[in-house]
Chains A and B, each alone.
Chain A
Amino acid sequence: MGSNSLHVLKGIDFTVAEGEMVSIMGSSGSGKSTLLNILGMLDEADSGSYTLDNTIIKNLNEKVAARYRNKFLGFIFQSFNLINYKTAVDNVAMPLYYQGVKRNIRMEKAMHYLEKVGLADWAEHHPNELSGGQKQRVAIARALASDPKVLLADEPTGALDSKTSYEVMELIQGINDEGKTILIVTHEDDIAHMTKRIVNLKDGIIIDDSVVTQVRAKSALHV
């Protein structure tokens, strides 16, 4: 904000195909979070174009952006961003509320996704009664609830220890196996290698973009 503008991204050109699992790496200040925010329509690029599922995302007002976010995208944040006064199942059901889904169907779907992340027994618990890993799994269930095209994860393991990180990554890999496109911002090498492609950013430009052999989190867990 203000008059001192800083150009964080200086020309990014890349394409992600459906079903890919891409990690965006880079040191802090490299612009990786900004890129993700633009992809997530939480922020807007000064220039350039962005096409998501054959829809050109441009000049969005808040209303349209909200609709696109709800329809296309699921977010996973480093700090989970759950609503503290709502139970796990209510948190998961929220995107569905904004889609206008009826309450009983909403709850049924939310329970289904909680089961998927292995937290069905914790449905009526509030976020402050859950561990970090559990919170992140609730957040993943929430991101999946609206059945988005793309999952965007900003340092999803940043606040977790390595064992829990691998558990969360295992879950994310499983979701990718089912065909969801996933983008992960991380600065951890081991996490990046659990994806199928690594895009390296430095000072706002892509310095490296390579396909890697995916390390399965499950095997990493038993090392």
Chain B
Amino acid sequence: MFNIERWQEIFETIRKNKLRTFLTGLSVASGIFILVVLLAIGQGMENGIGKQFEDDATNRISVWTGVTSESFKGLNAGRRIEMDNRDFELAEKKNIDQLEYKSGVYSIWGGLTSYKGESGSYRIEGVRGDYQFLENETLTSGRFINQSDLDNFEKVTVLGQRVFLDLFKGKQATGEYVEISGIKFKVVGVYTDPGGEREETRLFIPLTTAQRVYNAGDKLRSMAFSLEKQDNFEDAMAASVAFSAQLEADLKQKHIIAPTDKRAVQINNSLENAKRFYDLIWMIRAFFWGVGICTIIAGVVGVSNIMLIIVKERTKEIGIRKAIGAQPISIIGMILHESIFVTAIAGFGGLITSLFLLEMVGPLIESEYLLNPSVDFGVAITTVIILIVAGALAGFFPARRAANIKPIVALRDE
């Protein structure tokens, strides 16, 4: 391996056979390039889709009501169902042991909000303190709604990052007063949401305050719950599904809704979505790996093919070398050494090119479903090594056969 004479011999051969070397290198480099880009796109899709699920707690269960679609017990279809505080209390009492976070929500769309001449229309959500965790919010300053706010009908609000930027232009917001629907609210905090801008154009106020300000009595627009963490995904899944079913049944019984009505009560179970997400991710990953492995196989076949041609093309040369005293092992060594060298250089070349491309283009991609495409460096290196080893193996057998041909036969080859 460290025989300088051998290296000189190989460099000379490579220099004199540029096209052949280039073609071998190209097939290896493009194989690695395609594989790395594919894996990166797969990872990017995973990241992108994952992002869609990040905006809420992963074990969140949301309930909202609509219009009945079936008549039941003498009541017509088309009846609007509205939940109230009693529904929430019932659900809370019934499942007190397994609930982690819970909140009723009363929200209005397009609440005009202004501060010193700046104004905008945002969603206003009346919530309880737990809602911070159900929505996966992180406070950048101040605090969230608390129990005392709810008890005392405090006029306080927590701004989304976007709202904060719109109205305050980056100035200190906590302690200031904003006007929501004509009523002054004290800003107590600012939050960010992993779901991004869409989730940050909201203001939270205490649920009790919201119900009072918007004359909603004790009505709720929706309810959100999360269950205590379980040790494994299957248990969490089972508990979550059971809870959802129970809740739906209770609500339907109380509001006199047909058990088969799909529109009156809707329950969205994040965990079920998460499971679907993980299945999807798994499929994407399997698909890209499948394609990637096929690419590698194609690359290996390409390298073997070229190795076969090289050996065939050099049969006469091998005969000459043997006639002047080359030993079989030195012939095999020469061919393998050259092929491993070319494959390695080309493989790492393809790897570096693709990583460079990802580095340059990756951050420029602005798509909801493709985010920060990247590849595990260890995986990429492993693939290059596999390709080199496979190429060497594929080259070994024709090389050995050529090395064992009698020189007289090889010399006759034209």
Residues of A bordering B, CB below 8 Å: 37, 40, 42-43, 62-63, 66-67, 69-71, 75, 77, 81-83, 85-86, 90, 94-95, 97-99, 102-103, 142, 146
Q: Given A42, A66, A90, A94, which contacts B327 in the complex, CB threshold below 8 Å?
A: A66
CA distance A50 to B179 in the complex (A): 113
Looking at the complex, which one of B327, B329, B411 makes contact with A77 (CB distance below 8 Å)? B411
Among A69, A77, A146, chain B packs the most CB atoms within 10 A around the CB of A69
B324/A70 in contact, CB under 8 A: yes
* Interface status of B102 (Cβ within 8 A of chain A): no
- List chain B residues, Cβ under 8 A from A103: 5, 8
Contact B12 A69 (CB under 8 A): no
Q: How far is the CA of A143 from the CA of B317 in the complex (A)?
A: 16
B328 touches A63 (CB 8 A): yes
Chain A residues whose C-beta falls within 8 Å of the C-beta of B408 in the assembled complex: 37, 42-43
Number of interface residues of B (CB under 8 A): 27
CB distance from B386 to the nearest CB of A (A): 31
A37-B408, A42-B406 are known contacts. Are A81 and B327 too (CB-CB below 8 A)?
A: no
Cα–Cα, bound, A75→B411 (Å):
12
A98 touches B16 (CB 8 A): no
Question: Which of B319-335 touch A at CB < 8 Å?
Answer: 319-330
Chain B residues close to A by CB (< 8 Å) = 5, 8-9, 12-13, 16-17, 316-317, 319-330, 403-404, 406-408, 411
Tell me which residues across on chain B come within 8 A of A142, comparing CB atoms: 324
| Chain B CB within 10 A, most for which of A66, A70, A81 | A66
Q: Which of A66, A71, A83, A97 contacts B320 (CB 8 A)?
A: A83
**CB of B4 to closest CB in A, whole Å:** 8
Point out the residues of chain A lying under 8 angstroms from B13, CB to CB.
Answer: 85
**A66 with B325, Cβ < 8 A, contacts A43-B408, A98-B330 known:** yes
Of the candidates B9, B317, B327, B403, the one having the most CB atoms from chain A within 10 angstroms of its own CB is B327
Q: Could you say which of B17, B404, B406 has the most chain A C-beta atoms within 10 Å of its C-beta?
A: B406
Q: Which residues of B contact A86 (CB under 8 A)?
A: 12, 16
Give Cα A134–Cα B195 distance, bound, in whole angstroms. 80
Would you call B8 and A81 a contact (CB within 8 A)?
no
- Give the CA-CA distance A71 to B324 in the complex, in Å: 9
Bound complex: CA of A217 vs CA of B317, how far in Å? 32
Q: B272 → chain A, closest Cβ, in Å?
A: 67
Contact of A69 among B323, B404, B411 (CB under 8 A): B323
Q: In the complex the two chains form, is A63's CB within 8 Å of B327's CB?
A: yes
Q: Are A97 and B328 in contact (CB under 8 A)?
A: no
Question: A85-B13, A86-B12, A103-B5 are known contacts. Are A66 and B411 too (CB-CB below 8 A)?
Answer: no
Do A94 and B321 touch (CB < 8 A)? yes
Residues of B within 8 A of A99 (CB): 325
Closest Cβ–Cβ distance, residue B312 to chain A (whole Å)? 16
Give the complex CA separation of A145 and B214 in angstroms: 105
Q: How far is the CB of B29 from chain A (nearest CB, A)?
A: 24
Tell me if B329 and A146 are in contact (CB < 8 A).
Answer: no
18 more A-B contacts (CB under 8 A) besides A66-B328, A70-B324?
Answer: A37-B408, A42-B408, A62-B327, A62-B328, A63-B329, A66-B325, A67-B325, A67-B327, A69-B322, A71-B325, A81-B319, A85-B16, A86-B12, A94-B321, A94-B324, A99-B325, A146-B324, A146-B325
Minimum CB distance partner of A38 in chain B = B408
The minimal Cβ–Cβ distance linking A129 to chain B, given in whole angstroms, is 14
**Which B residues touch A37, using CB under 8 A?**
408
Cα distance A67–B326 in the bound complex, in angstroms: 8
Distance, CA A75 to CA B320, complexed state (A): 10
* A67-B321 Cα distance, complex, nearest whole Å: 12
Distance in Å from the Cβ of B130 to the closest Cβ of chain A? 78
Using Cβ atoms and an 8 Å threshold, which residues of chain B touch A81? 316, 319-320, 323, 411
- Contact, CB under 8 Å: A95 / B324: yes
Question: What is the CB-to-nearest-CB distance from A32 to chain B, in angstroms, rounded to a whole number?
Answer: 14
CB neighbours (8 Å) of A70 from chain B are 324-325
Cα–Cα, bound, A37→B330 (Å): 22
Instruction: Return the contact of B404 from the options A62, A75, A95, A102 (Cβ within 8 A).
Output: A62
In the bound assembly, the distance between CA atoms of A86 and B317 in angstroms comes to 11
Do A42 and B325 contact each other (CB < 8 Å), given the known contacts A83-B320, A97-B5? no
9 pairs of A and B residues whose beta carbons are closest in the complex: A70-B325, A85-B16, A42-B408, A98-B325, A66-B327, A95-B324, A81-B320, A62-B328, A42-B407
Task: Report the minimum CB–CB distance from A155 to chain B (whole Å).
Answer: 13
How near does chain B come to A72, taking the closest CB pair, in angstroms?
A: 10
- Cα A85 to Cα B13 in complex, Å, equals 8
Instruction: Establish whether residues B324 and A85, one from each chain, have CB atoms under 8 Å apart when the complex forms.
Output: no
Give B403's nearest chain A residue, CB to CB.
A62
Question: Nearest-CB distance from B411 to chain A (Å)?
Answer: 6
